[in-house]
């Protein structure tokens, strides 16, 4: 399939893989060969893809993985038609990839582990403060070391695919494919969405709605296999394949309802509920990723919290209160007229008030000092003055503020 591959030195593998990745015409030709089970080129193509995968070069491994959805569909379609001999080379390739992935570089069986994140700890997906009392419960559990860890493996080696172990192998292969989703090209994501729709509706009335031709037999699926399909579809939603992913999601929900599979229904409905109302714009260049809206950290501070700024603002409000005197004048409330008491020429002063300053008179009014005239000759005229001072003090106690200095 690739002349000179067997004589290629290991130091030249990275450059070779880079050039191979950029050949879009070669990729489209390989898809056509895989889609034709009777093609004479299928066996050498499968052999070369397996050589790429076991070379250890990361880019060559990803080059083989991009054809995995199409290879799985061809194998399931041929198995449903009971033409087992036509899928021999595809089955060998799938088994070879599976047996390489279940062991590490030293040949020991791998055990994959995944710790379920606790809701009491923040992540890019949630804030504990927005959950409420549930966060306290999760926090209490995490302090007791009750975090749940999910294990996958050890997986036994397989020499052939049977009806009993078929979906165990295929589910694990899809898991490996989903682990490299960010490196998959658009044509591989399109292939994933299309084969998910076909697997779920073939042999059912919806096949005529989708207008899928070819195989009309029902293809059995497992619950775990459908969950892995949903993982890839969820990624395709946010990376340029909205329409195909939407169709595949609806078909998976349709099939899960018929099979009464709770896990796929739960995951599919959760994805459907979290989707935005319109297609997401994709970034055709660079690393792809699922877009997540992060809760702003400023929302953690309560709006009613007492801060230095709020205290300062409260002081400003007190100092900026409008003058009640002006309001009283505008509303027509009783106002004591202002009579200027000065020594300006042409004005007369009251008896007994000669030589007394204005500040002394105000102090007497506010404090209620009952001071009579010191002159014995004016002692009889001081009594009316005392009454007027009492009346002014009474009005001030009743809340009537004088707009100026007052003297009767």
Give pLDDT, residue 203: 85
Q: Within 10 Å of residue 357's Cβ, how many Cβ atoms?
A: 9
| pLDDT confidence bin for 315, thresholds 50/70/90 | low
Query: What does pTM read for this prediction?
Result: 0.64
Cα separation, 302 vs 360, whole angstroms? 53
| CB 89, CB 214: distance < 8 Å | no
> pLDDT by residue (tens digit) across 140-159?
555 555 567 888 778 888 88
Contacts of 180 (CB under 8 A, 6+ apart): 61, 62, 65
> pLDDT by residue (tens digit) across 150-209?
887 788 888 888 888 999 999 999 999 999 999 999 999 999 999 999 999 988 888 888
Give pLDDT, residue 312: 61
Give pLDDT, residue 70: 94
Contacts of 265 (CB under 8 A, 6+ apart): 253, 256, 257
Give pLDDT, residue 358: 45
Give pLDDT, residue 98: 92
Using only the alpha carbons of the chain, give its radius of gyration.
Answer: 44
3-state secondary structure of 347: coil
> pLDDT by residue (tens digit) across 371-380?
444 444 444 4
Q: Within 10 Å of residue 75's Cβ, how many Cβ atoms?
A: 20
> pLDDT by residue (tens digit) across 224-283?
999 999 999 999 999 989 999 999 999 999 999 999 999 999 999 999 998 887 776 655
| 302 phi, psi to nearest 5 deg | -65, 145
């Amino acid at each position: 399939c690739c002349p000179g591959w067997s004589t290629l030195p290991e130091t030249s593998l990275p450059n070779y893989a880079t050039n191979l990745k950029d050949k879009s015409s070669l990729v489209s030709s390989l898809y056509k060969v895989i889609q034709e089970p009777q093609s004479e080129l299928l066996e050498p193509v499968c052999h070369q893809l397996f050589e790429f995968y076991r070379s250890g070069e990361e880019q060559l491994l990803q080059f083989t993985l991009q054809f995995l959805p199409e290879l799985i569909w061809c194998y399931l379609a041929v198995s449903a038609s009971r033409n087992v001999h036509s899928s021999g080379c595809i089955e060998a390739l799938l088994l070879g990839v599976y047996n390489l992935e279940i062991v590490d570089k030293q040949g020991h069986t791998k055990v994959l582990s995944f710790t379920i994140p606790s809701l009491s700890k923040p992540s890019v997906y949630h804030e504990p403060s927005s959950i409420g009392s549930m966060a306290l419960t999760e926090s209490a559990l995490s302090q007791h070391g009750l975090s749940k860890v999910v294990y996958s493996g050890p997986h036994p080696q397989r020499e052939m695919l049977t009806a009993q172990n078929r979906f165990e192998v295929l589910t694990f292969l899809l898991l490996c494919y989903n682990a490299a989703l960010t490196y998959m090209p658009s044509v591989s994501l399109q292939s994933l969405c299309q084969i998910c729709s076909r697997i779920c509706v073939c042999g059912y009335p919806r096949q005529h709605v989708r207008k899928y031709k070819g195989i009309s037999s029902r293809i059995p699926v497992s619950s775990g296999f459908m969950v892995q399909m949903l993982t890839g579809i969820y990624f395709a939603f946010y990376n340029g394949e909205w329409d195909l992913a939407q169709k595949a999601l609806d078909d998976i929900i349709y099939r899960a309802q018929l099979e009464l599979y709770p896990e796929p229904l739960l995951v599919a409905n959760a994805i459907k509920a979290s989707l935005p109302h319109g297609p997401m714009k994709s970034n055709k260049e660079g690393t792809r990723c699922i877009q997540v809206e992060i809760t702003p950290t400023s929302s953690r501070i309560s709006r009613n919290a007492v801060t230095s700024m709020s205290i300062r603002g409260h002081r400003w409000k007190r100092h900026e209160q409008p003058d009640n005197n002006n309001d009283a004048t505008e509303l027509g409330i009783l106002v004591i007229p202002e009579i200027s008491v000065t020594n300006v020429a042409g004005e007369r002063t009251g008896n007994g008030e000669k030589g007394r300053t204005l500040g002394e008179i105000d102090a007497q009014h506010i404090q209620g000092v009952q001071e009579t005239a010191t002159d014995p000759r004016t002692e009889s005229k001081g009594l009316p003055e005392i009454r007027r001072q009492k009346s002014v003090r009474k009005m001030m106690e009743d809340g009537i503020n004088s707009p100026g200095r007052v003297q009767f």
